Amino acid sequence: MIALGLRGNKWAWENKEWESVEHFVKVQKRWEIVGYFALAFYLFFAVKRLIEIL
């Protein structure tokens, strides 16, 4: 997951034909938001599990 965060934009740019730079930026912004939600979801359940253990 860290690799996707660090290299994802570069890989996406290199491995797909994009309509324009603006289109690429728009799509990547959406993926950034999805990534933040996924991180929040993971952290929520990780903390919840940690509290249950303690």
Q: What is the mean pLDDT of residues 34-44?
A: 94
Is the pLDDT confidence value at 36 over 80? yes
Q: What is the mean pLDDT of residues 23-43?
A: 94
Q: Which of 30, 35, 33 is nearest to 3 (CA)?
A: 35
Q: What is the mean pLDDT of residues 21-36?
A: 94
Please tell me the predicted confidence (pLDDT) of residue 4: 75
CB 32 within 8 A of CB 5: no
**pTM of the full predicted structure?**
0.74
Tell me what the pLDDT averaged over the chain comes to. Answer: 92
